[in-house]
């Protein structure tokens, strides 16, 4: 059996592990980031740092948030005196590596999963800081406020269109030439930015459904693929390793 060629669209600084997993599982990785993440020291982030003593909770939704705070406000991480919630294993491990204690990580690695945990625990009347990207979905702060909490939002990084569009153009060409067996998407923006560059959206969406195995990390990203009518699968646990395991299991079953 030939080894599958798997396209990785996640940001370059997060893609190394994904590429390694593809190779460990017997595939060939093609990296074409459709999203770039840039830490920024915004006024809202500075304001959050100034108000750290008001915080009862802080929520880290991605590793990039921690990277940004460490770069611009390292003392903030060292002196945090509030409870910490995170979304995802990678975020939790990085927080612990920086000496922080994770008090809450939902089993469902989504904003909805975290909201459910806060509701279950009756967390209300608290001040909660959420440093993240400005383009993130509104559901997390809105639902936490509905539970009776005060939310302080801060922009810690920007989610940008890919700086290297040539890599994405090359990926599109490989898809058209049937040189790619599977493609992975790890966030809604990885899909949206991909289709911003695609000229013939209907044609490529059809190829992703019919000629490729399209795998995403979870239901939030799946909704964007559904918008483009792309057949897809995603794992029960929303992590990159689980996504890759599902990809290779499915690909081998279909190509035996």
Residues 218 and 197 in one domain: yes
Tens-place pLDDT, residues 228-251: 999 999 999 999 999 999 999 999
- How many structural domains is the chain composed of? 2
**What three-state secondary structure class fits 243?**
helix
Ranges of residues in the chain with a pLDDT under 70 are 1
pLDDT at residue 255 in the model? 86
62 and 132 inside one domain: yes
Contact partners, residue 248, CB within 8 Å, separation at least 6 = 4, 25, 26, 27
Give pTM, 2 decimals.
0.85
On whether both 61 and 111 belong to a single domain, the answer is: yes
Domain with 168 in it: 5-35+162-254
Same domain, 145 and 83: yes
Q: Max alpha carbon distance in the chain (Å)?
A: 59
Predicted confidence at residue 13, as pLDDT, reads 80
Assess whether 46 and 150 both reside in one domain.
Answer: yes
Q: Read off the pLDDT of residues 28-39 as tens digits, 9 standing for 90 and up.
A: 999 999 999 899
Residues 148 and 185 in one domain: no
pLDDT value at position 96?
Answer: 95
Helix/strand/coil percentages in the chain, nearest 5: 50, 20, 35
CATH number of the domain where residue 55 is located: 3.40.50.10090
Residue 123's pLDDT is what? 96
Per-residue pLDDT at 198: 94
One domain, residues 82 and 195: no
Burial class from Cβ neighbours inside 10 Å (0-12, 13-18, 19+) for residue 7 reads buried
């Amino acid at each position: 059996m030939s080894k599958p060629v798997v396209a990785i669209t996640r940001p370059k600084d997060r893609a190394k592990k994904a590429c390694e997993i593809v190779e460990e599982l017997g595939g060939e990785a093609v990296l074409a980031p459709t999203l770039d993440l840039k830490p920024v020291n915004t006024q809202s982030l500075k304001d959050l740092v100034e108000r750290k003593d008001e915080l009862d909770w802080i929520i880290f939704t991605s590793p990039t948030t921690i990277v940004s705070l460490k770069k611009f406000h390292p003392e903030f991480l060292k002196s945090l005196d509030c409870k910490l919630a995170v979304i995802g294993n990678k975020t939790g491990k990085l927080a612990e590596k920086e000496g922080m204690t994770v008090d809450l990580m939902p089993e469902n690695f989504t904003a909805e999963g975290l909201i459910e945990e806060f509701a279950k625990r009756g967390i209300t009347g608290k001040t909660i800081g959420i440093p993240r990207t400005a383009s993130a979905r509104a559901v997390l702060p809105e639902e936490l406020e509905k539970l009776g909490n005060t939310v302080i939002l801060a922009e810690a990084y920007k989610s940008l269109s890919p700086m290297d569009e040539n890599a994405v153009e090359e990926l599109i060409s490989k898809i058209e030439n049937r040189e790619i067996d599977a493609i992975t998407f790890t966030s809604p923006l990885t899909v949206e930015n991909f289709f911003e560059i695609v000229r013939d959206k209907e044609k490529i969406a059809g190829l992703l459904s019919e000629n490729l195995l399209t795998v995403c990390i979870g239901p939030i990203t799946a909704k964007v693929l559904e918008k483009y009518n792309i057949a897809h699968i995603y794992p029960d646990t929303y992590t990159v390793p689980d996504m890759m395991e599902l990809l290779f299991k499915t690909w081998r079953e279909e190509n035996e």
